[in-house]
Chain A
Amino acid sequence: MLNSKIGDQRLKIRSSELFQQSIRKFEDETRQELDRLASEVNKQLRGLANGKTAAELPVANILEVIGTKAFRDLSISLENATFPNPGASTLAEEDLELGARVINEKIQIIGHRWAVFIHGRVQTRVSAAALMIEEANKAGDSAAISEAIKMLNEILNDPASGFGSHSQSLEDEITARLNPWEGLLDVELAISPELSTQKSPRNQDIGEVIGEAISNAVRHGLARKLTLNIAPLGENNISITIEDDATEAPPNENIKMGLGTKIFESVSDGRWELKRSNTESKTILTVVISLDGTAN
């Protein structure tokens, strides 16, 4: 799979105006939809609150109207996002089919990022605020009600706040991915000094590859130990090698491509490989990532 010809073709597509425009359009539309929902919910909240004290707010209605449903539905639709075939475009004819696939892979990855963000930051806080209002109502705690309303306003006035802000060094990005696994998995990290401090727009992509590789190793391979090696490869590439002690072999390639595979495929421009040792209980993942192009 470490095919440099396909890699070059995919890299060309990823650098194309069509790809950039498609991703921007998807991002803009998602942001607008999230803002629209939040604004609608805020309007209904004000409507409910109209003429009532905070303690009189009908929490069940808030939950139903504001809640969770609208944001949950948006998250689910983002998880299943696809992008129409680009059709007439600036891509050469021989690149059209691959182009549509590359764009769709990226849309699905970004859709997943948004879905997780909306679920983890927006929907969860809205649910918690509603719970807080309900419990505070029972206890007659007006300060807690005000705090919950304040939280709702913060979220609903700027629901996308914090999404996509990413400017940390590669070492910090990787550390942030590894730390949550502490205690569940032993990780030995080797990263070239010249790469560790770099703040490439691709760091988030690299972090996602590592996060996905670790999840797969633990969940499906039942690994307990993992070594991670990150080194430069040529002028503009880096090589990530992840070796684990998985007792279970990875699924074969005939299984439907999951999000993890799409992440490897998209981020590496198709240059990745997963090997199972014939002699030891060991799986080795190699991913080559170009530092050229944009974060997408």
Chain B
Amino acid sequence: MKKTKVILIEDEEFTRTTIRTALIQQGLDIVFDTDRVSAAVEFAKRNEIDAAVIDYNLGNGPTGIDAANALRKNDPELGIVLLTAFLNPLQLESKMAKLPRGSKYLIKHSVSEISVLVREIEAAISAKK
């Protein structure tokens, strides 16, 4: 069975490693992980991927939503899951850009069961098919 190909954008290294390891254990193929939006966009242009898991807060520079929009522009079929530690990202930024259509939005503490994240990835991919 073909594994789901996922890229992961998370600026915090420990968190990125943890999520990557957990998703691999769940049978997903993490084809690329990075802390840089530009690297993810470049990778997505050259490779076939099914979904992107993106942290909302990527430090100074683009937010996860900027990354989601840049990736979706490149691939309209891409499933997108945005991770945030906030209940509502509007609390983090008042003038936030809109998430691409069909994107899923997941609060980090609800990822304690990694299967929740896997389900959201599958739902995000289905929403775009």
Residues of A in contact with B (beta carbons under 8 Å apart):
59-60, 63, 67-69, 71-72, 75-76, 79, 115-116, 119-121, 123-125, 127-132, 134-135, 139, 148, 151, 176-177, 179-184, 207, 211, 214-216, 218-220, 258-260
Contact = CB atoms under 8 A, between A and B. Distances in A.
Given A127-B85, A180-B61, 10 more contacts: A68-B109, A119-B92, A120-B11, A128-B14, A131-B112, A132-B18, A184-B70, A214-B61, A216-B95, A258-B95
A27 to B, nearest CB: 20
Interface of B: 11-12, 14-15, 18-19, 21-22, 25, 36-38, 41-42, 55, 57-62, 66, 70, 85-87, 91-95, 97, 108-109, 111-114
Nearest to A147: B14
Contacts of B62: 180-181, 184, 215, 218
B38 A124 contact: no
Nearest to B112: A63
A184 B37 CA distance: 9
Nearest to B91: A76
Given A124-B12, A128-B12, A180 B109 contact: no
A77 B128 CA distance: 36
Contact of A183 (B19, B38, B60, B97): B38
Contacts of B55: 124
Contact of B41 (A127, A184, A216, A219): A184
Contacts of A124: 12, 15, 55, 57, 85, 108
Contacts of A69: 109
Contacts of B85: 68, 71-72, 75, 119, 123-124, 127
Contact of B14 (A125, A211, A220, A258): A125
3 shortest interchain CB distances as A-B pairs = A180-B61, A183-B38, A128-B15
Contact of B87 (A72, A125, A182, A259): A72
Contacts of B113: 134
Nearest to B56: A119
